Structure formats: structure tokens, C-alpha cells
């Protein structure tokens, strides 16, 4: 399954690394792809994700999850 989210506050490669590292720890996540110019993050998982866990991981990295991208 793939879910794409908007992440607010990322400005550099370190931001991408921080978000990727934290979200990768969420159970069932198999891949994280962050697109810095668009501020989106696509998360691939083996099952449906709990958005609150993804939001918590993004917050732990120091950024804000502003919802799913359409």
C-alpha cells in the first residue's frame, strides 16, 4: 500500500533524512520517499497505516504532518 502525505517545515537534505529515519520506524512501513520540492512523503507499507503513528514520527523528527495528499 502507498500513502502520500504533506509535510511542512522541511528545507534541506537533513530534513529529508530526519523524516525518513523516523517514519521508517513505524510498524509495517517498508519504504519512505520524501520529495523536498513538493513537501510530500510517500510511505509504502505492508498493511494500512495508522496515520497517528505516522504523524507522531514526523513530529519526532521536528516537522508537521498536514494531512494526506490527494
- What is the model's pLDDT at position 69? 78
Place of cell 496515520: 51
Per-residue pLDDT tens listing for the chain (70 residues): 999 999 999 999 999 999 999 999 999 999 999 999 999 999 999 999 999 999 999 999 999 999 887 6
- Measuring CA to CA, which residue among 51, 42, 55 is closest to residue 5? 42
What CATH architecture is 15-62? 2-Layer Sandwich (3.30)
- What is the model's pLDDT at position 60? 97
Alpha-carbon span 53 to 58, nearest angstrom? 9
- What is the model's pLDDT at position 70? 64
- What is the model's pLDDT at position 67? 85
Alpha-carbon span 24 to 37, nearest angstrom? 20
- What are residue 57's phi and psi, to 5 degrees? -65, -40
Amino acid at each position: 500500500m502507498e500513502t502520500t502525505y504533506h509535510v511542512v517545515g522541511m528545507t534541506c537534505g537533513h530534513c529529508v533524512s530526519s523524516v525518513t529515519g523516523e517514519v521508517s520506524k513505524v510498524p509495517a512501513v517498508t519504504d519512505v520517499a520524501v520529495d523536498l520540492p513538493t513537501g510530500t512523503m510517500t510511505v509504502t507499507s505492508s498493511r494500512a497505516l495508522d496515520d497517528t503513528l505516522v504523524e507522531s514520527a514526523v513530529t519526532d523528527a521536528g516537522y508537521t504532518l498536514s494531512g494526506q495528499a490527494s
